[in-house]
Amino acid sequence: MKLIIFAGPPTCGKTTVIRQVVRRIIKKNFKPAYLKIDVLYADEDEQLKREFNIPTKKIYSGELCPDHCNVVVLDEVVEWAEQKGADFLFVETAGLCLRCSPYIENSLGIVVLEATSGMNLPRKIGPMLTLADISVITKIDLVSQAEREVFRYRILEAAKEITVVESNALYGIGIDPIVRDILKSKDIEHPMFLKGNPPVGTCTICVGKKEIGAKNHFGVLRTMENDLFYVGE
């Protein structure tokens, strides 16, 4: 089975892209499965199940940041998808943390960014972009060609090796090259490893400690003037 992880800011078009991809994968007689990880609310699993009659699942990360949640649950989800006889597991994650990336070594990581999000976005989102294999730019139908060029340039500035695909996902334009790369991607290798370096230490903020100020937390910390330091065992 192949694992493909889609990350990207809220409402950037992840589900719309996945829907187009799933349609084409089914046409080629493969069986996809789908997982959505979100913080509080998601209904894409029901939509996709209804639309394509494929195994789908959702997990609410709740207190955890979605990407951390992904790290802890993914092995079980892979097992579930394999039991369902899937050839492809598509994971859609809300990717809100911006410090960690959800991608897995040797599996395809796809970041979805909307062309309408402003020229500085590629400079702001860190590993979610730099560790991805493909960057899909959606909503190209809504911006001028000149701005598209600048947006793409800014993506390549942040992630030099990334493959950029421009898409009007509503009409399925620009989806075929993504499908080609998905078909070419490698099968899951066990054990799975997170791509790149996970966010430093144990994040007490991610697990819900609300107090402001380094003195209230442990793990890898910093103060305004000082570099990172470690508190804990």
Partner 1 sequence: MEIAKITVIGGIGKDGQPEKVKRFDLKMGDIISIVGPTGCGKTTLINDIELFANNNTPSERRILINDEPIPDDFSFDPSKHPIALISQHTNFLSDLPVGEFLKIHAKIRGSDSAELMIEETLDFANQLTGEAIIRETAMTELSGGQTRSLLIADAVIIGNSPIILLDEIENAGIHRTKALKLLKKYEKIFVFVTHDPRIALLSDFRIIMKNGAMQKMITTNAEEKVAAIGLKKIDDVMLEFRKLIRAGEEITDSIFAEQIEDLAASYKIYLKRRKS
Ligand X SMILES: Nc1nc2c(ncn2[C@@H]2O[C@H](COP(=O)(O)OP(=O)(O)OP(=O)(O)O)[C@@H](O)[C@H]2O)c(=O)[nH]1
Which CB atom, from 13 or from 127, has the smaller least distance to ligand X? 13
Question: Can you tell me which of 71, 106, 147, 179 binds partner 1, judged by CB under 8 A?
Answer: 147
By CB under 6 A, tell whether 13 contacts ligand X.
yes
CB count, 10 Å around CB of 219?
Answer: 16
Stretch that binds ligand X, among 9-17, 27-35, 68-76, 224-232 (CB under 6 A): 9-17
Distance CA 32, CA 37 (A): 17
> Per-residue string for binding with Mg ion, 39-58, x by CB under 5 A?
-----x--------------
Distance CA 150, CA 169 (A): 20
Residue 110: HSE in the Cβ half-sphere, 13 Å Cα cutoff: 29
By CB under 8 A, tell whether 183 contacts partner 1.
no
User: Measuring CA to CA, which residue among 202, 135, 204 is closest to residue 164?
Assistant: 135
Q: Are 140 and 166 in contact (CB under 8 A)?
A: yes
Torsions phi, psi of 112, nearest 5? Answer: -110, 125
Question: Can you tell me which of 52, 98, 177, 201 binds partner 1, judged by CB under 8 A?
Answer: 177
By CB under 6 A, tell whether 217 contacts ligand X.
no
User: Measuring CA to CA, which residue among 233, 211, 212, 232 is closest to residue 224?
Assistant: 212
By CB under 6 A, tell whether 11 contacts ligand X.
yes
Question: Can you tell me which of 7, 12, 15, 117 binds Mg ion, judged by CB under 5 A?
Answer: 15
Question: Can you tell me which of 138, 178, 203, 221 binds ligand X, judged by CB under 6 A?
Answer: 138
Residues contributing to the site for Mg ion (CB under 5 A): 14-15, 44
Residues contributing to the site for Zn ion (CB under 5 A): 65, 67-68, 97, 100, 203, 205-206
